[in-house]
Amino acid sequence: MFGKKLTILSLISLFAVGAVLLGCEDDPAYEHRTILITSSLNGGMPYLSDVLNQGDSVYTDDGVTFKLADDFVAEDWIKVQFYNRPYSAIIDPCGGELGDFLVTGYDVEFVRVADGGPTPIPPGLPVAPFTGQTSILVPAQSMVEGYIVLVPFFEKNESPLVDLQYSASEILALATLTFRGHEIGSGREVEFTAGISVNFADPLEIEDID
């Protein structure tokens, strides 16, 4: 009698485990064990894109004439923080490991919101849409920082950004970043977006002239 009870209990346990394993294939909470998000762009702050760096000095010795010889244009990179978090607090009965993700690319699109300042600025997008590639590994249950291009160098040498040089005008814009990647092992593809306010200007740091 005792042996029959053990056999019945064993069969019930096998059926229960089988049902759970079959359910894992249909339940998205188990299929997608982790989810990848952008937890921070530029440390949670808006981004000021300087369209022209004035070098060591803004003015020549007369204190009036702009010193142009040491001016230069710099490409803008931005820090991105990715978070690979569990999909839910449910314990995975399938015994599957939480997935690591590899971010492999991104798209950047700008929307011009407003202009300001005394000098009229020509119309048009401050930066044309572009695509970039990267390779940032984000292990499960971790945060990882990386850097991507936000404003390419050549865009600052074209209108309307070049028109902001040596002026007190400004372009306010919104940037949408769409990231792409996949889960290591399963190959499951992911795509997620984040946004940031970007202000384009030529802030002059006026210094004391001896």
Q: Which domain holds residue 123?
A: 34-201
Rounded to 5°, angle at Cα 83 from 40 and 75: 45
In this structure, the number of other CB atoms found within 10 A of the CB of residue 117 comes to 14
Convert the pLDDT of each residue in 13-57 to its tens digit.
444 444 444 444 444 444 556 788 889 999 999 999 999 987 666
User: What is the rounded average pLDDT of the residues 63-67?
Assistant: 57
Looking at the fold, whether 15 and 56 belong to one and the same domain comes out as: no
What global pTM score does this model have? 0.74
Q: Using the 8-state DSSP alphabet, how is residue 179 labeled?
A: E
Q: Provide the residue count of the chain.
A: 210
Query: Quick one: the chain helix, strand, coil %, rounded to 5?
Result: 20, 40, 40
99 CA to centre of own chain: 20
Give the total number of structural domains in the chain.
Answer: 2
Name which of 20-24, 33-37, 153-157, 198-202 the model is least confident about: 20-24
Residues 9 and 44 in one domain: no
Place of tokens 């394993």: 21
CB atoms within 10 A of CB 47: 19
User: Is 60 exceeded by the pLDDT of residue 153?
Assistant: yes
Q: What is the pLDDT of residue 205?
A: 59
Predicted pLDDT at 132: 97
Residue 210 lies in a domain: no
* Domain identity same for 59 and 79: yes
Q: Give the phi and the psi of residue 118 in degrees, each rounded to 5.
A: -75, -20
Q: What is the pLDDT of residues 81-101, one digit of tens each?
A: 999 987 665 545 454 456 899
